[in-house]
Amino acid sequence: MTELVHHLTGPTAELPGVASLVLDSPHNRNALSRRLVGELYDGLAAAEADQDVAVVLLRAEGRTFCSGADLSEASEDGMEEAAAVLVELQRRIVTLAKPVVARVHGNVRAGGIGVVAACDVALSADDATYAFTEVRLGLTPAAISLTVLPRMSDRAAALSFLTGEVFTGREAADTGLVTRAAPEGDLDDEVARVCAALVQGHPQGLRETKRLLGRHLAERIEAQGPELAALSARLFGSEEARAAMRAFLQRRR
């Protein structure tokens, strides 16, 4: 069976001390299916346990970094479970004992933005596109707000959440959603530079500094995660949202 997340662990000539986890599920635009999330958890656990790994790099194949929840599975299993999975994935990234760097390109939507926001460092192509499209479907970005809202300014979040408009990686950097943006042709060099700086840190220093920086995110996820997952489920199951999603799918056809 083809892996949906490639685990490239251990030092390499290009990125010594870095474990790469590559999302590669083109059939659903790297959506957070049960299988992909499970493989991502396995990769994070393997990297955390590997003493030769100092930094985890999360990247993707294809022109979509991550499209968010797998809506076909959410329709079968219920959105509460899908939202709870997204909450727990953000928690796992935030509380991992090693820094997680996101290399972001292409399209990033919905839950995919939450994954990016949960990472310690997010390096984006300046022409990558982001959008909180939930508002147009009768929904709200509840679960991902756990990590997104602490990253973005209040004004930027209000504009992006309420309009659902597409914005670029350059704009994402300006709002604080990502750490830095660069031309896609330069992105690998920027990732390598940042990872090389991170691996100079002592393991204990990296672990404790990450814990210090991420404490407010971890506490926010613990306190608000169940409530916001339930809100996502309630809205997803509403007749208003179902009608909006049917209209959206008809337009796509």
Q: What is the pLDDT of residue 1?
A: 57
pLDDT level of residue 14 (50, 70, 90 thresholds): confident
* Mean per-residue pLDDT over the chain, rounded: 92
Indicate the DSSP class of residue 26. Answer: G
Write the pLDDT tens digit of every residue in 135-190.
998 999 999 999 999 999 999 999 999 999 999 999 999 999 999 999 999 999 99
Domains of the chain, earliest start first: 5-184 (3.90.226.10)
CA 125/CA 56 separation, integer angstroms: 19
Does 130 score more than 90 pLDDT? Answer: yes
Nearest-angstrom CA–CA distance, 65 and 114: 12
For 105-169, give the DSSP string.
Answer: -BEEETHHHHHHHHSSEEEEETT-EEE-GGGGGT---TTTHHHHHHHS-HHHHHHHHHH---EEH
**Lowest-pLDDT choice from 157-166, 213-222, 235-244:** 235-244
Predicted confidence band of residue 194 (pLDDT cuts 50, 70, 90): very high
Residue 36 makes CB contacts below 8 A (sequence gap 6+) with 4, 5, 23, 25, 30, 70
Per-residue pLDDT, 7: 76
Q: Secondary structure of the chain: what % helix, strand, coil (to 5)?
A: 55, 15, 25
Confidence band (pLDDT; 50, 70, 90) for 70? confident
For residue 67, give every residue at least 6 positions away whose Cβ sits within 8 Å of its Cβ, in sequence order, or none: 28, 29, 30, 31, 107, 109, 110, 112
- Can you give the pLDDT at residue 10? 54
Among 7-16, 198-207, 237-246, the range of highest mean pLDDT = 198-207
What per-residue confidence (pLDDT) applies to 69? 83
Q: What confidence tier does 71 reach under pLDDT thresholds 50, 70, 90? A: confident
pLDDT over threshold 70, residue 77: no
Q: What is the pLDDT of residue 252?
A: 60
Rounded CA separation 192/189 (Å): 5
